[in-house]
Chains A and B, each alone.
Chain A
Amino acid sequence: MAQMTMVQAVNNALDVELGRDKSVLVFGEDVGQNGGVFRATDGLQAKYGKDRVFDTPLAESGIIGLANGLAMQGFRPVAEIQFFGFVFEAMDEIAGQAARMRFRTNGRYTCPLVVRSPFGGGNKTPEMHADSLEGLFVQTPGLRVVIPSNPYDAKGLLISAIRDNDPVIFLEHMKLYRSLRAEVPEEAYTVPLDKANVVREGRDLTVIAYGAMVHTALKAAEELAKQRGVQAEVIDLRSVNPIDIETIVTSVKKTHRAVVVQEAQRSAGAAAEIIAQINEHAIYHLEGPVLRVTPPDTVYPFAQIEDEWIPDSAQVLRGFDKVLSL
């Protein structure tokens, strides 16, 4: 099996699906000739031609609008938004149009669209490049929002997303693109879109995270075990819309305490939804309130203090201690 980084796994998933299904198209700003600003689409235009892998004019609303038109005509577009902070430009075509296509034609047309986009902080990017905006789409009925935390999941989830008949927002954390390698099969395989993954077992505390925060949470969990002998169970959500509440509830019934670790700002995001669902499904199994470890409710900061702003394992560990003390 090959060792791949996450960006290679994404590239490989696109390659496999372009090869398997003629209706798959890959496009966006700089994705063709240049192979994407992160090289996620490197080599694909040379291999599959300019009709299937192509550069678009610079307009996010145009890109997603084009994709929606192609999707209703039976293509499977994989459209790239170069950085997810630019998604506001395409908000109507995503939330107002793609998410509603099946509904407003009562199933006559569907929208098998994948919007791929790098997101997340820690890379000292300029403004509007690093935001975690998944919360906007957690609140959008009709969309799936998938966020892999490792190369294996990235490939399997992206293939599932491309094959899915409804629109999927697929968010790739920039910090994870090249920071870890893992075994990834060369051939096609799928990872289900709405099944969370227990990445560390434990009986004392349930920790829910996604994206890069899975790794921060794991690090804090090891530290917690070392310092206090307390075993945290860490759940990698993989999908924030829908949320796999079953896996969470199963864990909470065992641990009786839970905390959500989120890179996005505190209020009204995925963490809020997770906690609401825990309350609905498992409140009598809890021994204390479920807390969130998150940045404050500010605009994503300028680069100089992003490392202080994004939760690190020390801050997450303090969050664990607090949840355990309540």
Chain B
Amino acid sequence: MSTVLEAAKVPYIQVLDETGKVVNPDRMPKLSDDELRELMKRMVFIRILDQRAIKLSRQGRLGFYAPAGGQEAAMIGSEYALQRDDFILPGYRDVPQLLYHGWPLYQWILFSRGHQHGTEIPEGVNVLIPQIIIGAQYVQTAGVALAFKLRDEKRIAITYTGDGGTSQGDFYEGINFAGAFQVPAVFVVQNNQFAISVPVELQTAAETLAQKAVAAGIPGFQVDGNDILAMYSVTKEAADRARAGDGPTLIEALTFRFGPHTMSGDDPTRYRTKELENEWERRDPLVRFRKFLEDKGLWTPEEEERVMEEAREEINAALKKADAYPKMTVPSLIDSMFEVLPESLKAQRQEFAGQEEA
């Protein structure tokens, strides 16, 4: 019994503590000052975008939105460890990674508003649109990564889900297939403690989510998900291993979402205490990293203000572009169904084209 529990112990990794002090110098990633500043810029940008998206949702100017605030370090840190041609299979909350991997901001806005053009990922951008079906992306990741392996490409596939997602059969199938085929994949679980209202203690009797890697026979790590340096470091290592042909990794990032589950009517006061929220606010990923950079003389309030201003401008420009985009039509939807439309659908296309004129 105890040997089993011993085997299930996974390392917990932190580089910066909550005050921004380096607690694990061996884990300190080799990043230049510019790269360190870039990480902060991205987190500030995403924080501003998140706040704006929440406002826009309330005004009815956005459609579906699952707030990212609080999880910036886990999202930005892991994406920053990737190369351009690595492939991301995201969940619905993972918009920040997609934006930094090349999904244009205005297309995300269209996607949120339910416009099909938003989903047309540009050539050369290696991402899928956010997956709604929890777990589906995990099994597909094994396949994407196997394709890279079969073609002998030095690329990896990375996927994301939440703590709730680890309960799906697809989660286990995905990490097990990836292990069985030893494919170049990285599986990230952002454990933000709640699946909508359900606390992680109700999802599983397992002490950590990372230990689920043990049963799949792959390495598993639990990371302070609000520590961007730890997230970067562990993801980079996992990506390097995968690229070198050493198989997949499971990473559990401990974090917290500040906002509601989505902007479609969720009320966190029904399931979370104010104390818990305050506790996690103290661990805000931006606060800790800002402190770290300021101590090194790499960040100033003026710089932050400038980044915020740039973010606002970029978001406004993207909104304008999205607003100006022509509306969808039912015939164009029908056209998107097949390479060659069957006769039956051609007839329906005509019928609905006629209706739109009527």
Contacts and interface: CB of A to CB of B under 8 A. Distances in A.
B329 interface: yes
A126 B92 contact: yes
A61 B132 CA distance: 17
A296 B345 contact: yes
B333 A61 contact: no
B348 A266 contact: yes
Interface centre among A35, A124, A296, A306 (most CB of B within 10 A): A296
B238 to A, nearest CB: 24
Contact of B165 (A34, A55, A58): A58
Contact of A58 (B164, B270, B327): B164
Interface string A223-252: 000000000000000000000000000000
A315 B337 CA distance: 23
Interface residues of B, number: 49
Contacts of A37: 196, 265-266
A59 B195 CA distance: 12
Nearest to B163: A58
B116 interface: yes
A304 interface: yes
Nearest to A314: B358
Contact of B132 (A57, A128, A267): A128
Contacts of B202: 55, 57
A62 B204 CA distance: 13
B198 A55 contact: yes
A89 B168 contact: yes
A183 interface: no
B64 A126 contact: yes
Interface in A117-159: 124-129
Interface centre among A124, A125, A127, A303 (most CB of B within 10 A): A127
A298 B333 contact: yes
B195 A29 contact: yes
B264 interface: yes
B169 interface: yes
Given A34-B271, A58-B168, A125 B204 contact: no
Contacts of A86: 133
Interface centre among B115, B168, B349 (most CB of A within 10 A): B168
B63 interface: yes
A318 B111 CA distance: 32
B119 interface: yes
A308 B356 contact: yes
Interface string B145-171: 000000000000000000011011110
A124 B63 CA distance: 7
B100 interface: no
A129 B132 CA distance: 9
Interface in A23-51: 29-30, 33-35, 37
B198 A58 contact: yes
Interface string B115-153: 110110000000000001111000000000000000000
20 contacts: A29-B195, A33-B197, A33-B198, A33-B271, A35-B270, A57-B203, A58-B168, A58-B198, A59-B169, A85-B132, A85-B133, A89-B133, A126-B64, A266-B348, A296-B348, A302-B119, A303-B114, A304-B113, A304-B115, A305-B329
Interface of B: 63-64, 92, 111, 113-116, 118-119, 132-135, 164-165, 167-170, 195-198, 202-204, 264-266, 270-271, 327-330, 333-334, 336-337, 344-345, 348-349, 351-352, 355-356, 358
Q: Which 8 A-B pairs have CB atoms at the shortest separation, nearest pair first?
A: A303-B114, A34-B197, A57-B167, A58-B164, A302-B114, A126-B64, A296-B348, A304-B114
Given A34-B196, A301-B330, A305-B330, 9 more contacts: A29-B164, A57-B198, A85-B133, A88-B133, A128-B132, A296-B330, A296-B345, A298-B337, A305-B329
